[in-house]
Structure 1
Amino acid sequence: MGARFEELAWRETPIGAVSLRRRRDPALGVEVYEVKLDDEYLMSSLFPVAEIELARLGLAALSGDDLDVVVGGLGLGFTARTALDDDRVRSLVVVEAIEDVIDWHRRELLPFAAGLAADPRTLLARADFFAAVAEGTGFDPDDPGRRFHAVLLDVDHSPRNVLHPSHAGFYTPEGLRRLAGHLHPDGVFALWSDDPPDADFEGVLGAVFRSSRAHVVRFPNPLTGGESANTVYVAHR
């Protein structure tokens, strides 16, 4: 089993034990990287499409160059890596609560995210994204009042299914108004969700942002042989 499975990293955190695993899937013939929180799967390199589309859809909604972008939640790095592939991105602040996750990328344990940490545009900020919004401290530790053109968030499973109860307040009108205060005029907030479009949450977005849209991102599921879908919300200030 050693050649087919390896636990690359493990750490007990305030929200549970976070681990990074690599395994060989003999049926698919690929190396699979997975992140778990205790016994729950958070993400897999088998399903990167929606995380990639989070960056693409969020940035496609912006015009102009010299974009300053925040990614909330580093994970396997697909969203951040895709953001850097956009030549208009001038700077990228990635806010990640778990130091070990940042270390995975500094050690380049994830080949598909190679170069992310070393890119001179990237700042990996060890912080709680939700606390930074609630407390008003902002996302750049060197410039607390800094505003951004886009905030791309992928931490919770969905606005209704959060990883920690302290995150729930973010998905209210009050929480999103605080987030909007960190955006430039006409800035964009984009959010990944594992659930189908949620009409109630779309109503919350509509109460805060000028416009919003829920994109259903469909992708083949190699485990079931069928199709799966996630949602990406994109809202303009």
Structure 2
Amino acid sequence: MGIRFEELAWRETPIGEISLRRRRDPSLDLDVYEVKLDDEFLMSSLFPVAEIELARLGLAPLTGDDLDVVVGGLGLGYTARTVLEEDRVRSMVVVEAIEDVIDWHRRGLLPFADGLAADPRTRFVQADFFAAVESGAGFDPDEPGRLFHAILLDVDHSPRHVLHPSHAGFYTVEGLHRMARHLRPEGVFALWSNDPPDPEFQRILTEVFPTSLAHVVRFPNPLQRRESANTVYVARR
């Protein structure tokens, strides 16, 4: 019998203690990878569907090739890995605030994300996504003001439930306007949320983007033996 539980990585960060752990779920007969911030679960390899759909739905409206994409928040890597499945993607900048999370992928601690760090299209940038928006310099430190075809964001639980109070200003009309300046014409902003569609946030999106949709992504929840759902917002300049 293998190890039932193992803490693969741990670090104290400005927003709390972040840890990566692997546990064996005998009822499902598989290894489950989980990320915790203090005592709160951030993500689990049991529920990757909406993170995958964030990439698929975010890239779907775009036409043409040679797409340049920003992924805000690396986590377990499902969104970034799905971006790279698109042959149309020329480059992907992954903005992650915690260096240790980037290191998980470079060290190969997540077997289902194998190849993400080695893909020549991938570039990891250790930075605060929200601070990069506020600064106006953007997401590529080597090319300030660089524009992208898509910005895909999965950091906070939802626009109303943020991991740090400093993130709250991003989800306003002013904050989204600042972010949209880093998109090419007809570029796409897509956001993952753990909450159901939020009418107030949808109203804010319509003040910034000509078109926006809230997609409800449903998936089976084997732990609770029921269906769960997340939301992916997709807005286009």
Tell me which interval the TM-score lies in, with the shorter structure as reference length.
over 0.9
The TM-score with structure 2 as length reference comes to: 0.99
In the TM superposition, residue 3 of structure 1 has moved relative to its aligned partner by 1.0
1:119 aligns with 119
After TM superposition, list the pairs within 5 Å mapping 1:195-234 onto structure 2: 195-234=195-234
Specify every segment of 5 or more residues in structure 2 that has no aligned partner in the other structure, as ranges: none
5+ long unaligned stretches in structure 1: none
**How far off is 1:137 after superposition?**
1.6
Q: Which amino acid aligns with 2:161?
A: N
Q: Structure 1 CA distance, aligned partners of 2:234 and 2:192?
A: 9
- Matching residue's letter, 2:141: P
Q: Cα deviation per residue 1:140-165 (whole Å; 9 max; x = unaligned)?
A: 11101100000000000000000000
1:107 paired to 2:107: yes
Give the counterpart letter for 1:32 in structure 2: V
Which residue of the partner structure matches residue 188 of structure 1?
188
Q: Identity rate of aligned residues, in percent?
A: 79
- Quote how far apart the aligned CAs of 1:74 are: 0.1
SS in 2 for 1:115: coil
Could you tell me which amino acid in structure 1 is paired with residue 91 of structure 2?
Answer: S
Aligned to 2:70: 70
Q: TM-score, structure 1 length as denominator? A: 0.99
* 2:146 paired residue number: 146
| Number of the residue aligned with 1:89 | 89
Q: Distance in 2 between matches of 1:194 and 1:2?
A: 32
2:109 alignment partner AA:
L
- Kindly provide the CA deviation profile for residues 156-203 of structure 1, in whole angstroms up to 9, marking residues without a partner as x: 000000000000000000000000000000000000000000000000
What letter matches 2:68 in structure 1? D
Match of 2:236 in 1: 236
Indicate yes or no: 2:56 matched with 1:56. Answer: yes
Deviation at 1:2, TM superposition (A): 7.7
Aligned length: 237
Partner SS state of residue 137, structure 1: coil
Is 2:25 the partner of 1:25? yes
**Residue type of the partner of 1:109?**
L
Secondary structure (helix, strand or coil) at the match of 1:120 reads coil
Q: Does 1:178 align with 2:195?
A: no
Determine the C-alpha separation between the residues in 2 that align with 1:211 and 1:17.
Answer: 38
* Structure 1 equivalent of residue 160 of structure 2: 160
**CA-CA distance at 1:61 after TM superposition:** 1.3
